[in-house]
Amino acid sequence: MPVTSDPLARRYRRLLVCYPRAYRRERGEELVATLLEAAPPTRVRPTARETTNLIGHGLRARLGRPTSRTVVVWAALAAVVCGLFTASLATRLAWETSRPMPDRAEAAAILADVLPGHEVDGIYVPSGLFEMYGEPLSLNHVDLLMFGEGNEYALSATTASRNGPPPVPVEQAAAVAQQRLRDGGWTVYPVTHNDMYSCAGPPCDPTAIPRDTQLFAKRGDTVLEVNLYPQQYADSTYLAVSLSRATPAAVAPAAIAAGLFGAVAGWLLFGWASRRTQAPHPARRAVNVLFGVTMVLWWSPIAFTAPFAVPHHLDAPHPLPHPLWEWLGQPIFSLFLFTGCATALLGLSLAALPSRKAQPRRVAAA
Amino acid sequence: MREPTYLILTALAPGPRYGYAIIQDVAELSQGSTSLLPGTLYTALDRLAAEGLVELDREERVEGRLRRYYRLTPDGVTALETETARMRRLTTAAEARLRTLRPHTA
């Protein structure tokens, strides 16, 4: 393609990057010439319609399915979901760069500093960063993970609590804790209050439900959560504290890099399978069905979970955002994920079956 | 056969045309209802070439711009004739029924 100083031609040519290099070499100059002839003299940049059209057809050509009207949408669905899952996996791996959860000494020092006069009944230090029912994840948990209890797999925390009557009113304890946290260099998040239980109508009066006091603070890689409860019984818990680690700095770059890698891999794999299974491939219909099933299995947990996760994050302070996989409905819907992996692998295996398809030719090469 | 494909084949029926001329012809034939973008046109030409309905006629350069002219193959002419006959049958049938429905206007 000859170089031109015409800015519109330059912009059109830039859009042609969406097409494969061989296609550009063969058709680029002709395509730009037609675009320039069709453009009114006053046009200085491609219209949105032209841009969308060139990107769509270019990506179709890159996928090797220039005549398919929907292939780009399917490829994008596959690429995005693969990118999200690989980003989630990288997020989990990058969490291993975190320091262990605060030990007893660190937790006791923080509690003595922030909540003076509140003797806790004990400090529990978890054995791992993420736990399921208080234990590091193991093969014993596979059935729980797969069949509906995956939400129990969560970030652990060093916890402490105190039963009995509070030494000072909980409002006063919260105010003192906030002040001491600020003095200690913690970032203190707005206090929130939540009903301790719910009920609907008489004899329960919803306006009389006791409310707890929840306080979050963060300093360095440590996140503190303090819950203060109005006393209901003589030995009920009035104070619960948890200390955990903030999201490590390595998580974001690892997730982005892995997400891009996964998206590209998903795109290329989809393109490969799509090209291989054009008619008259013997397993064409089966591969199409398996692809559809895979997309439903992978996307439905996301479609179900993400709409709840967004308002949940917006409604309450989150010094420690939920890890990416939880936004994708994992591992609570891990059965969907693994079944989708099985259907995807089966589809790819069928796509690898030999085909007697003739290679399409382009008119300019005719 | 989809309407844009039919219009492209119709535009090539009188003789070889280059890209922009095909776009203009299609707009004129459809009375402005079909406005082909170059990306769509060349994808369609690739497909029609793969199906053996159109082929490259010649290349020329006008004011420094490359023009490639395309023409119908004998199979392309047959496909256009077949589709035109099918549409004529449908049109005739529709007109006959409309005459039954509205004898004074049809």
Residue B105 confidence class, pLDDT cut points 50, 70, 90:
low
One domain for residues A123 and A209: yes
Q: Tell me which chain B residues have a C-beta less than 8 angstroms from the C-beta of A53.
A: 37-40
One domain for residues A200 and A282: no
One domain for residues A272 and A233: no
One domain for residues A276 and A331: yes
One domain for residues A234 and A354: no
Other C-beta atoms lying within 10 Å of the C-beta of residue A24: 19
Q: Tell me if A5 is assigned to some domain.
A: yes
- Which among A166-175, A323-332, A356-365 has the top mean pLDDT? A323-332
C-alpha span between A195 and A191 (Å, rounded): 14
One domain for residues A191 and A231: yes
Per-residue pLDDT tens digits for A234-291: 778 888 999 999 999 999 999 999 999 999 999 999 999 998 888 778 888 999 999 9
Rounded percentage of chain A residues whose pLDDT exceeds 70: 95
What's residue A366's pLDDT? 41
- Which amino acid, A356? R
One domain for residues A314 and A345: yes
Per-residue pLDDT tens digits for B25-78: 999 999 989 999 999 999 999 889 988 999 999 999 988 889 999 999 999 999
One domain for residues A205 and A335: no
Domains in chain B, please, with CATH?
3-101 (1.10.10.10)
Cβ within 8 Å, pair B19-A54: no
- B9 interfaces chain A, CB cutoff of 8 Å: no
Q: Tell me which chain A residues have a C-beta less than 8 angstroms from the C-beta of B42.
A: 27, 30-31, 34, 57
Q: Tell me if A241 is assigned to some domain.
A: yes
- Secondary structure element (H or E) that encloses residue A224, with its range: strand A222-228
Q: Tell me if A99 is assigned to some domain.
A: no
Residue A19 scores a pLDDT above 80: yes
In A147-236, alpha helices (H):
170-183
One domain for residues A232 and A333: no
Cis-peptide into A203, omega within 30 deg: yes
Q: Tell me if A303 is assigned to some domain.
A: yes
**Structural domain count of chain A:** 3
CB–CB of B39/A54 below 8 Å? yes
Per-residue pLDDT tens digits for A207-221: 778 888 899 999 999
Q: Tell me which chain A residues have a C-beta less than 8 angstroms from the C-beta of B18.
A: 34
Per-residue pLDDT tens digits for A45-99: 999 999 999 998 998 888 888 777 788 899 999 999 999 999 999 999 999 999 9
Range of the domain at A27: 1-62
